[in-house]
Structure 1
Amino acid sequence: MRSEHYGRIRRTVFSSIDAAKAADQKHETVQREVDAIIRDTVRTENLPVTLSEQRLMGQEILHDMFGVGPIEPLLQDDSVTDIMVNGPDQVFVERYGKLELTPLKFRDNAHVINVAQRIASTVGRRVDETSPMVDARLQDGSRVNVVLPPLAIDGASISIRKFSRRDLTLARLAARGSLSGAMSRVLEIAAACRMNMVVSGGTGSGKTTLLNALSRHISAHERIVTIEDAAELQLQQPHVVRLETRLPNLEGTGQVTQGDLVRNALRMRPDRIILGETRGQEALDVLQAMNTGHDGSMTTLHSNSPRDALSRLESMVMMANGNLPLFTIRRQIASAVNLIIQVERMRDGTRKVTSIAEVAGMEGDVIVTQDLFHFSYDASSFDEEVRGSFDSTGLRPIFADRARYFGMENALIEAMRP
């Protein structure tokens, strides 16, 4: 019964309220006004709509006016980590690492597009037929990707990676089974000792979460510059400068890339540069920054293993400058990167640090690495839950000498004991 009258009531509300002026008012004030219009409309037109249905209509209308439409409640649900809208009739979520279909729906494809355009406009970006793909973020920091038809064949697609309200630290990640206590301690020491670190993993493996946790062990006295396509890092230090890329305007000008921002950041007297994700030609600038006194810099990249991460870095540097000899590129990587931390999303939906590898230098023209920790699967267990152990190789880390400089050598050696 409610759906038969919802369209009429909604049109009455939107024709009675100036959405632009309402945006400047308190949420409670607009809510009272919307509820009053709904009550008057139901009474005047003698519509068979109950009080509970009226309240639900009011919430949906407010979500349409100020939020992200029918998926707004999912943003308030802390058990949801990802929201995926595949056209108006399919809304999936990820809970505890598993995908599930929700009963939520949009009115039509135009409704999805309207929500997508509102999200993009809040961060000064646009999404339409001429620019059908965009990365943006919500006010709470959640990351959003939008793809419109005709690229999205079955209707507009919205993918939201939610901003975690939980203050995740390395210790808490260890308590959740994402890594061991010893691994957590070694990473704490590495971050405090200003090691250059690359967090490697696949999509949704928890790279940004781990990067945020690592950043908590940066000294409060350091100046940090962060560079991202869509800002989502949550640094706690008092001296942080956040930079974000910019897409080209309608005339195709005005674009600012990650590489542009990295080069500019070098002129900003940073102690550390944190790049949200290295995915292209900016890799060369990042390596040069790591090699020119900006110790303790961090970034993430997509790869399946520490060795793959090194290969990807090589490829991205060659994209930036194809004239550089491969040996020179590898030598630059070997001198810039200290640790590669591999994270993986398991088949049971959990995220684990599967390897911590240290770059040990070069032998001939090959970059040499040594594993400090690795996750060993329990081959005898084939149930849904992934079982295994985090094992230390017992090797003395190469950065132990640097840890001595920071007064942490003994703690590092103790943490490495098998």
Structure 2
Amino acid sequence: MNLTERLNAARGVPPSFETTPAGIGVKNATPSQEAVPLSGAGTALAGLKQRAGDALFERMGARLTDPNMSEELLRKAARDELSVVIDEEQVPLTPDERRRLIREIGDDVLGYGPLQKFLDDDSVTEIMVNRADQIYIERGGQLALTDSSFATEAHLRRVIERIVSKIGRRIDESSPMVDARLEDGSRVNAIIPPLAVSGPSLTIRKFSKVPLTVQNLIDYGTLTPDMAQLLSACVRARMNILVSGGTGTGKTTLLNVLSSFLPEEDRIVTIEDAVELQLQQLHVVRLESRPPNIEGRGEVSIRDLLRNTLRMRPDRIVVGEVRGGEALDMLQAMNTGHDGSLSTVHANSPRDAIARLETLVLMAGMDLPLRAVREQIASAVNLIVHLTRLRDGTRRLTHITEVQGMEGEVVTLQDAFTFDYSAGVDQSGRFLGKPVPTGVRPRFVDHFAEVGITIPASIFGTQPTNAGRR
């Protein structure tokens, strides 16, 4: 039994049927006889799609990863090649079935296969492919296992290679980990065997197609209008701000929102491992680090870019995240006239953010006394804004903390806002609490008056809470 007969049998079509220009029909068929839908083919259809996809890859070759070929031309060439492939299979299809098959295979080969529908779904915030047959998504802060899967590990590997090749990066056995991004700025991390024991693994952190505004965060309950007013004043007053939080708490999103307060007339330079920030100002220079090539040469680190940025006459420096020795260069920049800088750091609390900065500075390889490191931090960083992802999946701004200076060997911190957990949770498990002022007026408010910025004293409340100086 040939492929056509097997496909017909799977679709329940009697052997007396034969291929006609319009699709499938009986000799001397009457108008009342209709073609059976393609979806009835089951396993035969899946096999056809797999073979057609493999054949398309062979025919397209290097054109699939050619950076000089536009997406429109690539899709047109793929459709033409795919039409030839399907013709060679000699599978009986109606025009509608043929168009749908070409579209589905095109999505598998040129798009992101089973991930495409999740990428198009704005309610999905993260996609996690543990292996070819196991895909999780995050929606509303909660994880869920999907019923989608890749056909094979090779299919998943091709999707990964397609993503990373678009930005000039590579992934193979000699370089089995990579950070990349999609066209819309979504962050991608991929790791393949031999490091990934169960097969290639892919994680995509999606970002909103339209950058979130401060009003969006207020509406979501992430912060309050008073906090937004204070943060806006701090950015305009050229204070150095560090956004801290755990993985997936929304640090990059908040950094984007803070950057919206930057004046249009300032020259802004952003430095990132993979470009994610979506600054709306006109005068912006975006820099991205580069991994080493296959010979282990050509690496350009965040630290290299930060040093170069100081020669670019920046008014504001925005570092996507400090995670190594570049922390020392950032602190030195903040202490040598580059006020108003913004960055993020992984930490579990404002106090932990200070300790982590100390560790990162020591990673620069300089044999500095710990007190000297702490003095650098205390004089460079003015404000720590801390985000937390609560048990209900929501992301909340739980601390706005002033860095006041040094007392003995300790960097002193003072909370201006903290999150009040005392309200408990509602019936659905969502926290009812909100950030509240501690009643303590930060010292940096005196600087606001010097630069002509006024904010009402009522923002800071009148009754101090238990939180405060640490």
In the other structure, the counterpart of 2:386 is 342
| Aligned-residue offset at 1:380 | 4.1
**CA distance in 2 between partners of 1:123 and 1:297 (Å):** 27
Any idea what the Cα deviations from partners look like across 1:18-60, whole Å, max 9, x if unmatched? 7728954447745864785587567x433xx566654443233
2:59–2:81 CA contact under 8 A, matched in 1: no
Aligned in 2, Cα 1:181/1:52: closer, same or farther, shift over 3 Å?
Answer: farther
- Is residue 204 of structure 1 aligned with residue 251 of structure 2? no
Give the letter for the 1:157 counterpart: S
1:109–1:155 CA contact under 8 A, matched in 2: yes
| Aligned-residue offset at 1:10 | 3.3
**CA distance in 2 between partners of 1:130 and 1:105 (Å):** 27
Give the letter for the 2:403 counterpart: V
**CA distance in 2 between partners of 1:74 and 1:115 (Å):** 14
- Which structure is higher in RCO with an 8 Å CA cutoff and minimum separation 6? 1
Give the letter for the 2:408 counterpart: G
2:443 to 398, 401, 405: 398
**CA distance in 2 between partners of 1:76 and 1:34 (Å):** 26
In the other structure, the counterpart of 1:139 is 183
Aligned in 2, Cα 1:412/1:62: closer, same or farther, shift over 3 Å?
Answer: farther
**CA distance in 1 between partners of 2:309 and 2:279 (Å):** 17
**CA distance in 2 between partners of 1:244 and 1:7 (Å):** 37
Size of the alignment, in residue pairs? 414
In the other structure, the counterpart of 2:49 is 6
- Is residue 364 of structure 1 aligned with residue 408 of structure 2? yes
Larger radius of gyration: 2
Gaps of 5+ in 1: none
SS in 1 for 2:441: coil
| Aligned-residue offset at 1:160 | 0.7
Worse overlay, 75-84 or 12-21: 12-21
**CA distance in 2 between partners of 1:125 and 1:31 (Å):** 23
| Aligned-residue offset at 1:364 | 1.4
SS in 1 for 2:318: strand
Aligned in 2, Cα 1:225/1:412: closer, same or farther, shift over 3 Å?
Answer: farther
| Aligned-residue offset at 1:322 | 4.2
**CA distance in 2 between partners of 1:55 and 1:347 (Å):** 46
Aligned in 2, Cα 1:204/1:55: closer, same or farther, shift over 3 Å?
Answer: farther
- Is residue 93 of structure 1 aligned with residue 137 of structure 2? yes
**CA distance in 2 between partners of 1:206 and 1:266 (Å):** 28
Any idea what the Cα deviations from partners look like across 1:264-287, whole Å, max 9, x if unmatched? 100110011111001111100000
Gaps of 5+ in 2: 1-40, 463-470
Give the letter for the 1:70 counterpart: P
In the other structure, the counterpart of 2:63 is 20
Aligned in 2, Cα 1:56/1:34: closer, same or farther, shift over 3 Å?
Answer: farther
In the other structure, the counterpart of 2:114 is 70
**CA distance in 1 between partners of 2:390 and 2:96 (Å):** 42
Identity of aligned residues (%): 50
1:189–1:412 CA contact under 8 A, matched in 2: no
Any idea what the Cα deviations from partners look like across 1:113-141, whole Å, max 9, x if unmatched? 12112211111111110111111111221
**CA distance in 1 between partners of 2:387 and 2:445 (Å):** 23
- Is residue 377 of structure 1 aligned with residue 421 of structure 2? yes
Any idea what the Cα deviations from partners look like across 1:351-408, whole Å, max 9, x if unmatched? 1001110001111121111000011113643752122121101221211122112322
**CA distance in 2 between partners of 1:117 and 1:32 (Å):** 20
Give the letter for the 1:10 counterpart: G
**CA distance in 1 between partners of 2:59 and 2:294 (Å):** 34
**CA distance in 2 between partners of 1:320 and 1:397 (Å):** 32
- Is residue 163 of structure 1 aligned with residue 207 of structure 2? yes
- Is residue 285 of structure 1 aligned with residue 329 of structure 2? yes
Q: TM-score, normalised by structure 1?
A: 0.93
